[in-house]
Amino acid sequence: MDRRKLLAAACAMALAIGLAPAAAASAVPATIPLTITNNSGRSDPVFLYDLGTFLATGQQGWADAGGNFHAWPPGGAPPVPAPDASIPGPANGQSVTIQIPKFSGRLYFSYGRKLVFQLATGGLVQPAVQNPSDPNHDILFNWSEYTLDDSGLYINSTQVDMFSAPYAVGVRLADGSTKTTGHLRSGGYNAVLSGLRNQAGGWGNLIQTDSGGNVIRALSPGHGIETGAISNGYLDDYINRVWTKYSTSTLTVTPFADQPNTRYFGKVSGNIMNFTNSSGAVVTSFQKPDSDSVFGCYKLLDAPNDQVRGPISRTLCAGFNRSTLLANANQPDTNPADFYQESLTNHYARLIHAQMVDGKAYGFAFDDVGNFESLVHDGNPQQASVTLDPFS
């Protein structure tokens, strides 16, 4: 799975761990309202974008404020400018309500300037925050990922690519109650940035500023490896110790919470960790990963959308990022008191989780292992929300 395309995996995992649809398909209308409330305290204009795949046809495009779908025109090589899909957002202290269609995509928001989107022959070119020459590099922006389909609404706040403009997401249920996630604690935004600056190992190098010296984001560690902010050898000692441990002992993975009898057993031989099933047959194998593979949950820890390798890989990814593999030979470890206890760990995810009101975040691609992700779902959604929070 490409780590930049998180939501499909998140929703698949949500279903796998028991978040079954709460209502029949007929209860989900073609569009639902989404209210964006601006509590940021900033005077900059806000621009909104609802971009994704229209599930009725499989076409990629954008939705306007009324929830009407528009397919992207053909792209080019080199990429050509995309149509302006922006929707005026709310001023500080105000709200704007739009309609969102049955989409799997992203709701972008930017402060001060419109985002630059282009179309290649393969479709939309998303902003690449790790690329210093990307036209959106100096723009303060963020995005939420969502899927609205016949099983309801899944909407998250994500830090898989970056920690930037703070926001929270929510859904209003049929009984009038709401589910929300993504709010930082008071002072949490600055606390995450300060924590990165004070963390040994180059973590402060993840913080990016615009041409005026203003902080615009902190890259995730995987992107930090791409830019050279963090060494791809950062986790080598921890990874080597894991490989050594399981050359003489067995790592037991039980990837499905509702299937406790489905277990796989990992044992290292040389550079390879082989997993067997209860019958002793090898079902999949992993080469020793590097830090990039761990932080990104891809490459040597690729997680296909299947029922064996993907679930095992997700569990390994979570164990490496939370540094629980040495302390616990039964994975996943779902006790948050055990997470991030090693000095070599995903400090980016650690700091973000510590500053969330509910402790939930998408600090890495498979933070949903054990239900620690910032995702809300309802099978009969009445209204969705995105709240732009203060920078403090």
The predicted-structure confidence for 65-104, as pLDDT tens digits, reads as follows 999 999 999 999 999 999 999 999 999 999 999 999 999 9
Please give the structure tokens belonging to residue 333.
């470890």
Q: Between these two residues, 211 and 360, which has the higher pLDDT value?
A: 360
351-357 LR contacts (CB < 8 Å, sep 24+): 351/191, 351/192, 351/195, 351/196, 351/199, 352/159, 352/163, 352/192, 354/191, 354/195, 355/184, 355/185, 355/188, 355/189, 355/191, 355/192, 356/182, 356/183, 356/184, 356/185, 356/188, 357/183, 357/184, 357/185
DSSP-H helix ranges across the chain = 6-16, 188-198, 221-227, 236-248, 291-296, 309-321, 347-354
Q: How many residues does the chain have?
A: 392
Rounded CA separation 272/279 (Å)? 20
Using the predicted structure, report yes or no on whether residue 17 has a pLDDT greater than 50: no
Active-site residues, by number, are 145, 161
Q: What is the mean pLDDT of residues 193-218?
A: 96
Sign of the C-alpha dihedral computed for residues 33, 36, 37 and 43 taken in this order: negative
Give residue 316's pLDDT. Answer: 98
Strand 87-88 and strand 59-63: the pairing is: unpaired
Bridge partner list, 111: 46, 140
Judged by DSSP in three states, 160 sits in coil
Using omega within 30 degrees of 0 as the cis cutoff, is the peptide bond preceding 332 cis? yes
Sign of the C-alpha dihedral computed for residues 312, 354, 179 and 142 taken in this order: negative
Backbone phi and psi for residue 35, each to the nearest 5 degrees, phi listed first: -105, 125
pTM: 0.93
* Domains of the chain as residue ranges with CATH: 6-228+348-388 (2.60.110.10), 236-343 (3.30.920.50)
The whole-chain average pLDDT of the chain stands at 93
pLDDT in tens, 259-285: 999 999 999 999 999 999 999 999 999
